[in-house]
């Protein structure tokens, strides 16, 4: 009889310390894993929101860039991290496209994560190096068609939105060029600025400053409507690439099993960050739109991710580009 009593005592003790850990969370720095290179679009969103949450949570939100395989290295890492409320993960459409792009994945986006919140939506821009010999989209397409063996299209690997956008662009114009993968669009942008690659489709959260500085050539935006921050830039669809639309959305996740009270507190912290005037201004300056509050519940993110998996699966399968 002695042992069951000890066991009950141990269980009660463990339950009490778990409840205490949840009630006092966070008591140490929180890691926010980013699946692409520092300085790039995902990193910019993570660091902007992270800085605001650092103020509201009273603990530092540390951004950790885990690179490789179009974001899938970081996703696998985040899926296996301890579900103790000290590791979170930010990712974009890549969370929805990876299952169609990769034959083998060690994670299931729907089953291996808790859903925290959506965050922002970001337009993409079709760019070329500064000295690219084309003044508008029509000339760009003609030049690419005439020189397809020489054109290098940069992206951040299979699973990156730059890759998705580049794939859709090539399909829309009926030409296949050489794709050059980087570990994020920050290094891809450096290569574009240095003239080592010719074309890049990337998010405004990285491209607006380069476009405004005249360091790259802009051929259009990937949204249905023009974007406020680049008012003179036509959409790709209005220039003849019928129905061309890619909008990048970012969501925040936790490893499966992270206690609900912590997920809920993190959700509240993300929502508060999205109302922080500094965050609003920075996102506005970079062309990103904050997702309205109703879209930022854990459940809304879960439903959204499932819909995106269903939407992009057939598009990717038609593109015929897969990896093991």
User: Interface with ligand MLT by CB under 6 A: which residues?
Assistant: 36-37, 40-43, 92, 94, 156, 160-162, 184-186
Is the distance from CB of 202 to CB of 188 less than 8 angstroms? yes
Q: Which is nearer to ligand MLT, 78 or 156 (CB)?
A: 156
Q: Which is nearer to ligand MLT, 45 or 273 (CB)?
A: 45
Please state, in angstroms and rounded to a whole number, the distance separating the CA atoms of residues 56 and 60: 10
Is the distance from CB of 224 to CB of 235 less than 8 angstroms? yes
Q: Which two tokens stand for residue 22?
A: 């949840």
Residue 251 phi/psi, 5-degree rounding, is: -130, 160
What minimum distance in Å lies between the beta carbon of 162 and ligand MLT?
Answer: 3
Q: At what angle do helices 277-285 and 41-57 cross, to 10 degrees?
A: 170
Q: Which is nearer to ligand MLT, 156 or 227 (CB)?
A: 156
| Cβ atoms within 10 Å, residue 283 | 23
What minimum distance in Å lies between the beta carbon of 93 and ligand MLT?
Answer: 8
Q: Which two tokens stand for residue 223?
A: 């949204």
What minimum distance in Å lies between the beta carbon of 135 and ligand MLT?
Answer: 26
* Continuous segment of H or E residues that includes residue 261: helix 260-274
Is the distance from CB of 44 to CB of 257 less than 8 angstroms? no
| Torsion from C-alpha of 19, 22, 24, 30, nearest 10 degrees | 150
What minimum distance in Å lies between the beta carbon of 123 and ligand MLT?
Answer: 13
Q: Which is nearer to ligand MLT, 252 or 262 (CB)?
A: 252
| Cβ atoms within 10 Å, residue 29 | 12
Please state, in angstroms and rounded to a whole number, the distance separating the CA atoms of residues 2 and 290: 58
Q: 104: which DSSP letter? A: -
Q: What is the full DSSP assignment across 207-236? A: HHHHHHTTSEEEEEE-SSS--TTSTTPPBT
Residue with tokens 């520092």: 38
What minimum distance in Å lies between the beta carbon of 322 and ligand MLT?
Answer: 17
Q: Which is nearer to ligand MLT, 127 or 263 (CB)?
A: 127
What minimum distance in Å lies between the beta carbon of 124 and ligand MLT?
Answer: 8
What minimum distance in Å lies between the beta carbon of 43 and ligand MLT?
Answer: 6
How many residues are given for the chain? Answer: 324
Asked if omega into 26 is within 30° of 0 (cis), the reply is yes
Q: Which is nearer to ligand MLT, 83 or 181 (CB)?
A: 181
Q: Which is nearer to ligand MLT, 156 or 288 (CB)?
A: 156
What minimum distance in Å lies between the beta carbon of 114 and ligand MLT?
Answer: 22
Q: Which is nearer to ligand MLT, 66 or 265 (CB)?
A: 66
What minimum distance in Å lies between the beta carbon of 83 and ligand MLT?
Answer: 25
Q: Which is nearer to ligand MLT, 32 or 186 (CB)?
A: 186
SS3 304: helix
Q: Which two tokens stand for residue 320?
A: 């015929």
């Amino acid at each position: 009889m002695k042992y069951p009593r000890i066991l009950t005592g141990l269980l009660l003790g463990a339950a009490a310390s778990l409840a205490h850990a949840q009630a006092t969370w966070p008591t140490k720095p929180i890691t926010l894993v980013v699946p692409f290179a520092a300085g790039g679009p995902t990193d910019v969103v993570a660091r902007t929101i992270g800085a605001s949450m650092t103020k509201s949570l009273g603990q530092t939100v540390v951004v950790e860039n885990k690179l490789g395989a179009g974001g899938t290295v970081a996703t696998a890492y985040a899926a296996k991290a301890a579900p103790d409320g000290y590791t979170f993960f930010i990712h974009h459409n890549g969370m929805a496209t990876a299952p169609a792009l990769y034959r083998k994945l060690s994670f299931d986006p729907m089953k291996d994560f808790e859903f925290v919140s959506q965050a922002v939506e970001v337009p993409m821009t079709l760019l070329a190096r500064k000295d690219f010999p084309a003044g508008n989209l029509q000339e760009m397409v003609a030049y690419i068609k005439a020189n397809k063996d020489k054109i290098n299209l940069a992206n951040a690997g299979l699973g990156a939105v730059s890759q998705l956008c580049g794939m859709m662009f090539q399909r829309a114009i009926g030409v296949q060029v050489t794709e050059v993968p980087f570990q994020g669009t920050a290094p891809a942008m450096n290569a574009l600025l240095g003239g080592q690659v010719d074309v890049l489709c990337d998010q405004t959260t990285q491209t607006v400053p380069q476009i405004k500085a005249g360091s790259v050539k802009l051929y259009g935006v990937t949204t249905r409507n023009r974007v406020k921050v680049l008012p003179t830039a036509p959409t790709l669809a209005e220039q003849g690439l019928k129905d061309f639309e890619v909008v990048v959305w970012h969501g925040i996740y936790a490893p499966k099993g992270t206690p609900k009270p912590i997920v809920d507190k993190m959700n509240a912290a993300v929502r508060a960050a999205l109302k922080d005037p500094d965050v609003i201004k920075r996102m506005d300056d970079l062309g990103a739109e904050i997702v309205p509050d109703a879209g930022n519940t854990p459940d809304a993110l879960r439903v959204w991710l499932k819909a995106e998996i269903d939407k992009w699966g057939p598009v990717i399968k038609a593109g015929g580009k897969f990896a093991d």
